Each structure stands twice: as structure tokens, then as C-alpha cells.
Structure 1
Amino acid sequence: MTTVTLREITADTVRAVTQLSVAEGQKGFVASNAVSLAQALFAPSAWYRAIYLGEELAGFVMLEDESLLSPPPARPEVGVWRFMVDARFQGRGVGGAALQQVIEHVRSRKQFTRLTLSYVPGPGCPEPFYLGLGFRHTGRVDGEEVVLELPFAEGGIHHEFGTDSH
């Protein structure tokens, strides 16, 4: 498979990022990238990147990273705020490869004990995808979203993942 990378979004790429879209049946599960980027303008904790497959723009990811706040909390948390792969690139391993890069980015910072994310349950939801990557249920629900976590050993030590079949 061609390499999946995470890249900063620039003035030259922002329009293309806002035009990415999930499959029709998934649109109720994630906000548009335009909304996500607008929210990021007002959220000092937002860390976001475009997902590329080779040189092709394939998706978008945004974290809420409390360590970016000034001053940061004593025990900052980090979670996946938005994650999407364009419908044209789904089923090619892009999502799993991108999320594993996000996990490595978070773990390499060595200040987090876990990475959280949430999803809206329903037909076509990403729960099996996330569980396949090692996330587990926390028992928490935030509004209508089920919260999952990927725990790291203290100090961000390595955690084994499943493989992405999506």
C-alpha cells in the first residue's frame, strides 16, 4: 500500500480538505471538515492534520489536546475530536494507518496515559473499526456518543494494535 501520512493543512490545501466527504450513510456520524476547521479557530486545544495516501488527500483528523492550553492542566487529557476518511478512500487501510500515526504521535509525547474518542452508535458506525485498533469501552456516554479509550502504560509506553480491515 502507498504510504499514509499526516500533514499540516495550508492555505493551498484547506479548500480541498473542506470538500472531503464520508459515504452517504456515514454523514450523521461526523461533522463536516469545514465546521471542524471553523471550531479549531476558536479552540486553543485543537491539533489537526490532513490525511494523505501518497500524494492524494484522503481524510482529516483533529485532536483535542489539553497540553496545548496555556497554561496546560497538571494532568492533560487528549482525545480524537474528529476523524474521517473520504468515501473514495475507505476500505483501503487508510483509516487504520492514519489512526495508528495519531496514536504514535500522542504516545511519543509521553505525557498521556490514554487516548479517548467517541462515536454515535447505529448502523454503519465506526465501533468495530475502533475496537479492532485496540480501543475499549469506558462505560461512559457523552450525550448520545459512546466513549472509548486506548490506554497506554504510564508514560506512553507501547501498546499493540489490531489491523485495519476497513
Structure 2
Amino acid sequence: MPEVSLQEITASTVRAVTDLQVAPEQESYVASNAVSIAQAYFHRDAWFRSIHKGDELIGFVMLRDSTLLTPAPAPAQLSLWRFMIDRRFQKAGLGRKALALVVAYARTRPGVTAIHTSYVVGPHGPMEFYLSFGFRHTGEVKPNGEVALVLELA
């Protein structure tokens, strides 16, 4: 099986990234990639990549990485802001492989000890995926109703 990789999005690949789609029943759980990329340009701490299996585009990930700010605030914070695998490639273990690459990236960031994320509660949401990967509930519910999770990197 070809390797999963995270790649920079370029002018020649951005349209294909914005064309990726989750399953219809998942659409209310994650923003579109077009909205995500637009938001990234207004946040200096945004880090975003396309997800590939070999040469094939399969998904999108976006983080908020406080170590990208100058000066970087203490303590360092890294949040999984958006994560999606196109509906054609789900249920094949590719999301787990991509998330493992995100964890590897996080481990290279100075002062980062955990990855934070949150999810929308619902029958087709990502809770089980995140919990099976090792994230745990923090007990926090965000003002927008999303439930907070954390993955300790220690």
C-alpha cells in the first residue's frame, strides 16, 4: 500500500483539495476545505496540509500551532482544527495513518506536550475515531457546544 503523507497545498492543488467531500451525513460535523483554507489566511498560527496516499489526494488537515507565532506564547499550544478524509477513502485506516503524521509533526514543535481538539456531538461525528486513537475527554464543553478532547504526547 502506498505511503500516507502530508503535503503543502499549492496553487495547482488547492482546487482539488476544495473538491474533497465527506459523506453527506458527516457534512454538519466539519467545515468545507474551502472555508478552512480561507480561515487559515487570517490566522498566523494556522498550519494546513493535504493528505495523500501515494500520489492520490485523500484528505485535508489544519492545525493551530502557537509555535508559529512570533513571539511564541508560553505554554505552547497545538490544536487539531480541521481533519477530514474524503468519503471515497474512509474506513481504510488512512485517517489513523494521517493522524499519526500529525502527532509526529506535533512532537517536533518546541514546548508542545499535547494536541487539543473538539468535536460536534452526533451519530456521525468523529468521537469514536478520536477516542480510539488515544484522545480523552477533558470535561470541557466549548461555548459553541463542541466537546473538548486532548491527546497527551508524553
Q: Same fold (TM over 0.5)?
A: yes
- The 2-side partners of 1:138 and 1:24 are apart by 29
For 2:30 and 2:105, the matched residues in 1 are separated by 22
**Structure-1 residue corresponding to 2:96:** 96
Q: Distance in 2 between matches of 1:152 and 1:12?
A: 34
**1:4 Cα shift?**
0.6
Question: Aligned partner of 2:96: which letter?
Answer: G
Shift of 1:110: 4.3
Could you tell me which residue of structure 2 aligns to residue 148 of structure 1? 149
Instruction: State the match for 1:17 in structure 2.
Output: 17
Once the two structures are superposed, what CA deviation does each residue of 1:29-82 show, in whole Å capped at 9, x if it has no partner?
Answer: 000000000001111000000000111100000000111112110212010000
- Distance in 1, Cα, partners of 2:111 & 2:71: 15
Secondary structure at 2:17's aligned position in 1?
helix
| 1:109 Cα deviation after fit | 2.3
Which residue number corresponds to residue 156 of structure 1?
Answer: none
For 2:131 and 2:92, how far apart are their aligned partners in 1?
18
- Per-residue CA shift, 1:98-117, capped at 9, x if unaligned? 00100111012241111011
1:161 is aligned to: none
Residues 72-93 of structure 1: CA deviation (Å, up to 9, x unaligned): 1021201000000000000111
The residue correspondences of 1:58-77 to structure 2 (distance < 5 A) are 58-77=58-77
TM-score scaled by length of structure 1: 0.90
Paired residues in the alignment total: 153
Matching residue's letter, 1:144: G
Alignment of 1:29-44 (within 5 A): 29-44=29-44
Q: 2:67–2:110: 8 Å Cα contact kept in structure 1?
A: no
Opposite residue 117 of structure 1, the aligned amino acid is T
Shift in Å, 1:129:
0.5
**Aligned partners of 1:68, 1:118: CA distance in 2, in Å?**
21
Q: Secondary structure at the match of 1:64?
A: strand
Moved over 2 A (4+): none
- In structure 1, the residue matched to 2:7 is 7
Question: Greater CA deviation, 19-28 or 144-153?
Answer: 144-153
Please give the alpha-carbon distance, in whole angstroms, between the structure 1 residues aligned to 2:47 and 2:120.
Answer: 22
